[in-house]
């Protein structure tokens, strides 16, 4: 088994290295599984990209598939378990994954997606099905010896939705990937993670996101993980108390749901073990952040950035209390600047388009889409995450709006183009625009503004939403739909989403 697992099995024989909602797994067993996953990946022709996909809900196996494949020199592709078969098949094909790991929930979609994409190996846990190879059977075929240290580590390939409606693959950036020329060097770098300074890590978000996925890498540093399923506020508090967890990655929606619990429920649980919570996904409302600090203490660290580049700004709780509402100051290798519409840098405290410069020159890279890569970087290393904001005299960044179409709902990025392309195909729809509107729990939610064909029979909004949900995963679909007379296209046929949203919120659209 890996050196770290062997040592921990000897030093902490009774400790559970990994827990999920059904069981705990000790260090010795974790080490044996990791060796077998790694060796099966080494002994399988994974193609030039050496990629495997994990299409499953949160579970111990999800973490072990990701970490074991990493140790075997594979690049893992986390696939959102909400995706439809067609959406998953596109990712499998685009990433050229050679193996798909799945569970009972995603089984049928995974089998069909793999067949569509030409993937011949599907490994599933929690099922007994002739269409796939069982997880335990797949492990049993593997060598149990230690994988070589000189193997080259490969970053995850993650998929983000796009303005054209097709997700784009982007490798885990250097700011988030430990790197190293060999696996031995990589494992040493993983031990320097900020979370590695604390005890048991709590995974509360879905493991197709980079933050929750980081919990599996902490095993290398000897940090046990407790993996929860779909978020439940009281279950989270009970887990913190029971397992004395010390760190987690959360998004503002988690905070809102925790704070919504009755006072008697919140006070019932001891959360004093928590030492660090990284907050990511979206800007947190000031009152929500302040109440969490009052409840849990000054343990929160904002990590503002994106999958494509990692964290660009950060701020701790005590700093935040002095600069409420800020997402922090830029961190190396990034510097922040605000530009006007002509691309000129503006003075401090002046609102404009927020850009970052990457001192390494890397910027944003989409390996399979050079055109989008070029469009995302106006010049080498200069990029934007689509925000409007300002920088104060002390260099603290504040977000005030978005100029890109992207909607951030519950920490999940949604690009309206995907829903728009589906809705426009309905025979009764003449034109459509999807926008993000404020939501007290999710931050934003996607809503659709639809113009109907002149001769179309009356179509209920619920029927159009159902049309969308039949063709897209539900989280990408509008939560509400409104029939309007105009979506405010200009003479060039373009829609200014900010102007449209403002008009809609002001009640100016019929």
**Contact indicator for 425, 464 with CB cutoff of 8 Å:** no
Contact 359, 333 (CB under 8 A): yes
- What integer pLDDT is reported at residue 167 of this predicted model? 82
The residue written with tokens 């800007």 in the block is: 283
Report pLDDT digits (tens) over 34-78: 999 999 999 999 999 999 999 999 999 999 999 999 999 999 999
pLDDT band at 265 (very low <50, low <70, confident <90, very high): very high
Per-residue pLDDT at 403 exceeds 60? yes
At residue 14, the pLDDT reads 94
First to last CA, the chain: 66
Q: What is the mean pLDDT of residues 493-507?
A: 87
Report pLDDT for 244: 98
| pLDDT for the residue 366 | 83
Nearest to 412 by CA among 297, 307, 327: 307
pLDDT of residue 492: 62
Summarize the confidence of residues 248-252 as an average pLDDT.
Answer: 94
Q: What is the pLDDT of residues 327-360, one digit of tens each?
A: 999 999 999 999 998 889 999 999 999 999 999 9
Residue 81 has pLDDT above 80, yes or no: yes
The tens digit of pLDDT for each residue in 188-243 reads 999 988 899 999 999 999 999 988 888 899 999 999 999 999 999 999 999 999 99
Beta-strand relationship, 121-124 and 247-250: unpaired
Q: What percent of the chain has pLDDT over 70?
A: 98
* 164-187 pLDDT, tens digit each: 567 889 999 999 999 999 999 999
Residue reference for tokens 């209390």 = 321
Question: Which of 115-124, 256-265, 501-510 is the least confident region?
Answer: 501-510
pLDDT in tens, 281-294: 888 989 999 999 99
* 11: confidence class by pLDDT, cuts 50, 70, 90: very high
Q: Would the pLDDT of 127 be above 60?
A: yes
pLDDT given for residue 164 in this prediction = 53
Give the domains, in start order, of the chain with CATH numbers. Answer: 3-230 (3.40.50.980), 276-402 (2.30.38.10), 407-505 (3.30.300.30)
DSSP-derived secondary structure for 400-417? EEESSS-EEETTEEE-HH
* pLDDT digits 0-9 by tens, 425-473: 999 998 999 999 999 999 999 999 999 988 877 889 999 999 999 999 9
The tokens of 189 are what? 């770098």
Give Cα 397 distance to the centre of its chain: 22
Main-chain phi, psi angles of 483, to 5 degrees: -85, 125
* Stretch 262-287: mean pLDDT: 94
**Rounded Cα distance, 218 and 423, in Å:** 42
């Amino acid at each position: 088994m890996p050196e770290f697992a062997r040592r921990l099995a000897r030093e902490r024989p009774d400790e559970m290295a990994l827990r999920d909602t059904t069981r705990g797994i000790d260090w010795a067993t974790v080490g044996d599984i990791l060796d077998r996953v790694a060796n099966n990946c080494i002994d399988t022709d994974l193609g030039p990209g050496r990629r495997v996909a994990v299409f499953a809900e949160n579970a111990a196996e999800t973490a072990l598939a990701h970490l074991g494949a990493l140790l075997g020199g594979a690049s893992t592709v986390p696939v959102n378990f909400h995706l439809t078969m067609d959406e998953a098949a596109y990712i499998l094909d685009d990433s050229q994954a050679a193996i798909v790991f799945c569970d009972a929930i995603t089984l049928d979609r995974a089998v069909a997606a793999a067949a569509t994409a030409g993937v011949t190996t599907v490994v599933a846990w929690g099922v007994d099905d002739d269409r796939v190879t069982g997880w335990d059977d797949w492990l049993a075929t593997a060598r149990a010896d230690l994988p070589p240290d000189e193997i080259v580590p490969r970053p995850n390939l993650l998929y983000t939705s796009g303005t054209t409606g097709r997700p784009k693959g982007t490798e885990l950036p250097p700011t988030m990937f430990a790197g190293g020329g060999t696996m031995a060097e990589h494992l040493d770098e993983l031990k320097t993670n900020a979370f590695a300074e604390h005890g048991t890590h709590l995974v509360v978000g879905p493991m197709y996101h980079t933050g929750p996925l980081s919990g599996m890498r902490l095993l290398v540093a000897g940090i046990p993980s407790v993996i929860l399923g779909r978020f439940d506020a009281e279950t989270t508090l009970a887990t913190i108390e029971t397992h004395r967890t010390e760190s987690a990655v959360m998004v503002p929606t988690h905070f809102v749901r925790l704070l919504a619990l009755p006072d008697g429920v919140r006070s019932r649980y001891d959360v004093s073990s928590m030492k660090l919570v990284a907050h990511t996904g979206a800007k947190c409302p000031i009152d929500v952040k302040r109440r969490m600090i009052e409840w849990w203490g000054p343990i929160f660290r904002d990590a503002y950035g994106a999958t494509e580049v990692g964290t660009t700004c950060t701020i701790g709780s005590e700093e935040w209390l002095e600069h409420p509402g800020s997402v922090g100051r830029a961190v190396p290798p990034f510097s922040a600047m605000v530009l006007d519409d002509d691309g000129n840098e503006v003075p401090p405290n002046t609102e404009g388009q927020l850009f970052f410069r990457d001192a390494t020159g890397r910027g944003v890279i989409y390996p399979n889409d050079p055109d989008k890569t070029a469009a995302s970087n106006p010049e080498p290393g200069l990029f934007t995450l689509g925000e409007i904001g300002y920088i104060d005299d002390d260099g603290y960044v504040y977000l005030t709006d978005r100029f890109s179409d992207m909607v951030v709902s519950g920490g999940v990025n949604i690009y309206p183009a995907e829903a728009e392309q589906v809705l426009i195909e309905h025979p009764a729809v003449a034109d459509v625009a999807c926008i993000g509107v404020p939501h007290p729990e999710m931050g934003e939610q996607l809503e659709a503004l639809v113009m109907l064909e002149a001769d179309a029979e009356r179509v209920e909004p619920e029927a159009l939403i159902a049309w969308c949900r039949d063709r897209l995963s539900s989280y990408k679909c509008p939560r509400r739909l409104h029939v309007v007379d105009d979506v405010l296209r200009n003479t060039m046929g373009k829609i200014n989403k900010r102007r449209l949203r403002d008009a809609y919120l002001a009640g100016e659209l019929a």
